[in-house]
Structure 1
Amino acid sequence: MINEPFLSTAILKAKEGQKTALKKALLDLIPPTRNEPGCLYYILFEDKNKEGTFYMREAFKDKAAFEYHIETVHFKNFATQMDILLSEPIQLVEMVQVSDIE
C-alpha cells in the first residue's frame, strides 16, 4: 500500500570505546527528527544484554517521509560520523504491524 506508515527498527552497534559518543549522537538526532512533518515517533533503546547496541524504533507517515528524513541535514551530519562510531553498517529492519496495540 502506497500510503501505509513506514515502520522500522535501526540496529546500531558501537565500535569499541565509542558507546558514549554513539549514544550522544543518537540522542542528538531525536529532537530534530521528531520535528520533521512526517515523523510519527522516534525512540532510542539500548540493549541491556549487549553493551553498545542501540535500537532506534521509528515510524514515519509513509516511505516518502522516511526518505525525507535520511536526506535532512541532521541525519547527514550523523552519517558523516558512522565510520568512527559504528562497528558495522546500520541494520534497518522494516516492519508491518499485524496486531492491534491493545
Structure 2
Amino acid sequence: MIAVLIAPPGRRDDLRAALAGLVAPTRQEPGCRDYRLFELADEPGTFQMHEAFDDEAALEAHRATPHFRAFEARAHELLGAPLRLVKLTAVA
C-alpha cells in the first residue's frame, strides 16, 4: 500500500517530522514487512509512505498503536488534502 499525504502551505516540515517519527516504531511492529517514507522530488510537501504488512490484522494492529493514534489526532492540522491510500497487488 502507498499512503499519499500532502502538507498544507507552510506545514511541509511539520508533516515531514510527524511522518518520519512513525517509521522506527512501525518497523518494530509484528507483521510489518516494509515502512518507508519518500517525498516527491518534483512536488515538495507531497509524501508517500510505502507500507507492507503481513495481513489485514497486522495493519489494523498498526492503526491501533499509540504512535499512529498520535499522528492521526494531528492529521487535521498536518494535511492539506485528504489522505489517499493506494492499495497494490504484487505481480512479480
Give TM-score scaled by structure 1 length: 0.88
Which residue in the other structure is 1:53 paired with?
46
Q: Over alpha carbons, which structure has the higher Rg? A: 1
Which of 70, 83, 86 is residue 93 of structure 1 equivalent to? Answer: 86
C-alpha deviation, 1:88, in angstroms: 1.3
Which residue in the other structure is 2:14 paired with?
21
Deviating 4+ runs (over 2 angstroms): none
Aligned AA for 1:97? Answer: A
| Structure 1: tracts of 5 or more residues without a match | 1-7
Q: Secondary structure at the match of 1:16?
A: coil
Give TM-score scaled by structure 2 length: 0.97
Structure 1 CA distance, aligned partners of 2:13 and 2:81?
A: 16
Structure 2 CA distance, aligned partners of 1:69 and 1:89?
A: 20
1:52-92 Cα shifts (integer Å, max 9, x gaps) = 00000000001110011111110000011111110112101
Structure 1 CA distance, aligned partners of 2:26 and 2:7?
A: 21
Q: What number of residue pairs does the alignment pair up? A: 92
Give the structure with the larger helix fraction.
2
Name the Cα RMSD after superposition: 0.6
| Structure 2: tracts of 5 or more residues without a match | none
